[in-house]
Structure 1
């Protein structure tokens, strides 16, 4: 599994898990032209990951993708997603993202977008500065919540919010959280159009929908329809 050998001790259980997953015969992923842990050049290793629409991270070739098999160590998740960026290596374009780690290349594909907001973090200082945490790392991975920048695509019902610029600048809102947010949406232009306003914490925000161009570009780059179906 791609990670720096010098990472701190709390990450060791994850390395052990991956060693178990990769022990024995080579595991072929859903794309037949890779093998987990392959070495295309001296001292270079390549690994392949998948992020589902709930923001959980898996080895791409895991037969079962559910809560019991996802990677849960928050310090590892922080490192992995802080390194995440667009894959411009010209290798494995079906994996649109990569999380480099020293000499290891961690290629990443996803159900929708790699950044998935999972929870709202309430301010601890009495202010109104709420945050959104993402990809199940709690407060270790979070960004400021800007209610007026929420965006919903009527065709899918999925909700999005700005995310880290390095990984595309936009992230998906997890379905459970999106349902909660949807109660505050107002559709002044009709329900076939994106919502126009959002009510949050006693305030009404006019939605700019400025994320739409970047969102459509990102979804096109991810080319989700080209991926094998996942459970």
Structure 2
């Protein structure tokens, strides 16, 4: 799947090792070493990263952009359908999610915020609204629940429910949340310093529950 190469992930202030500097903010301070394709107890291990637009990358990719992201939609469907919390007690802080591939391969996953990232709204076969996620178009969708859209006023990030096994919260991609803002879908009934109180969808002002904000603040 990917070539074998040694990488050391180091936390803030770390210097480049072997010419590669894997640095990102974490509340703990530790360094880990991994090798793409390494074997642990006869299980092959790979390491991935999900960015704020829901694009999937090999974690050791130097450049993370549209050119280098994984674009095979069948692979993306297979990968994200199996995504769940890391319960292996291995790399659980640095890579809090895993996507098992049978019994012989484990994909460790870290992310910008949440691993499920909704990119656009599409219509289902019965005309219902669906959210497509992680760049797989119709191969990865969930029912759109407008009343459960939630905006964190501290970051401006927008969230929507996701599968419980993936943490129950999904991130709305920047492009979609900016589009919704431009379309004036958010109504701030308690000032713009507070979370939106209504969301305009299909011509209706829908009351927001904002229940996801507690989960986001605890993350």
What's the TM-score, normalizing by structure 2? 0.85
Alpha-carbon displacement from aligned partner over 1:177-200 (angstroms, at most 9, x marks no partner):
001222210111111110000111
Say whether 1:95 aligns with 2:95. yes
Task: Give the alignment of 1:1-231 within 5 angstroms.
Answer: 15=1, 18=2, 22=3, 26-31=5-10, 32-41=32-41, 43-93=42-92, 94-102=94-102, 103-125=104-126, 127=127, 129-182=128-181, 183-217=184-218, 220=219
C-alpha displacement of 1:124? 4.1
Say if 1:167 and 1:175 are closer, same or farther in 2 by CA, change over 3 A: same
Paired residues of 2:118 and 2:134 also in contact (CA < 8 A):
yes
Q: CA RMSD in A?
A: 1.3
Q: Structure 2 CA distance, aligned partners of 1:154 and 1:117? A: 19
More helix by share: 1
| 3-state SS in 2 of match to 1:106 | strand
Query: Which secondary structure does the structure 2 equivalent of 1:61 belong to?
Result: coil
SS in 2 for 1:34: strand
Distance in 2 separating the partners of 1:114 and 1:50 = 9
* 1:29–1:60 contact (8 Å) kept in structure 2: no
Q: What's the TM-score, normalizing by structure 1? A: 0.80
Which blocks of at least 5 consecutive residues in structure 1 are unaligned?
1-14, 221-231
Range that drifts further, 78-87 or 180-189 = 180-189
Bigger RCO (CA 8 Å, 6+ sep): 1
Q: Distance in 2 between matches of 1:172 and 1:215?
A: 10
Relative to total residues, which structure has the larger strand share, 1 or 2? 2
Q: Distance in 2 between matches of 1:115 and 1:55?
A: 7
CA contact (8 A) 2:6 2:33 kept: no
